[in-house]
């Protein structure tokens, strides 16, 4: 009987070591960085007066960890709404040059983080990237 127990331990020991090694790899590994693309692109109008201007923005949100990625995807409609509101308040001057676009990107990131902080208690989004920004 003791021989059988010893044999089972000898057979099972390598599997137990492999499981522990995999758990250590997961714990020691750096968190996964992911990009959540807001698809389809955000499209709307901005400005005032007789001629409305139009924008199209392809946006990606950088998050760390699969849990943050899932939560951001869950709140995507709210995020999209916040971004549409932000873009529609812009003027041609606030979208005209590179510095203005960078300020808009930073403001968009700030607003997305505020929305997620209200909903989830944490900002979750590390960065916001314009993959494409077209103004017409």
pTM: 0.76
What is the CATH class of 33-135?
A: alpha beta
Strands (E), 1-136: 33-46, 53-64, 125-135
pLDDT top residue among 23 and 83: 83
* Residues 29-52 pLDDT 10s: 778 999 999 999 999 998 877 788
CA 110 to chain centre: 13
- Whole-number percent of the chain with pLDDT over 70: 79
Domain residues of the chain, as ranges? 1-30, 33-135
Where does the pLDDT of residue 5 fall: very low under 50, low under 70, confident under 90, or very high at 90 and above?
Answer: low
> Is 121 exposed, middle or buried (CB count within 10 Å of its CB: 0-12, 13-18, 19+)?
exposed
pLDDT score of 48: 76
């Amino acid at each position: 009987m003791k021989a059988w127990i010893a044999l089972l331990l000898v057979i099972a020991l390598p599997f137990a070591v492999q499981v522990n090694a995999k758990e250590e790899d997961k714990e020691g590994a750096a968190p996964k960085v992911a990009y959540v693309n807001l698809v389809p692109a955000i499209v709307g109008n901005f400005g005032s007066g007789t001629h409305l201007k139009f924008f199209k923005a392809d946006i990606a949100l950088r998050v760390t960890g699969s849990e943050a990625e899932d939560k951001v995807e869950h709140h995507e409609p709210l995020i999209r709404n916040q971004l549409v509101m932000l873009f529609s308040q812009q003027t041609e001057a606030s979208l005209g040059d590179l510095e203005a676009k960078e300020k808009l990107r930073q403001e968009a990131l700030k607003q997305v983080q505020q929305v997620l902080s209200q909903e989830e208690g944490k900002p979750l989004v590390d960065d916001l990237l314009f993959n494409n920004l077209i103004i017409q």
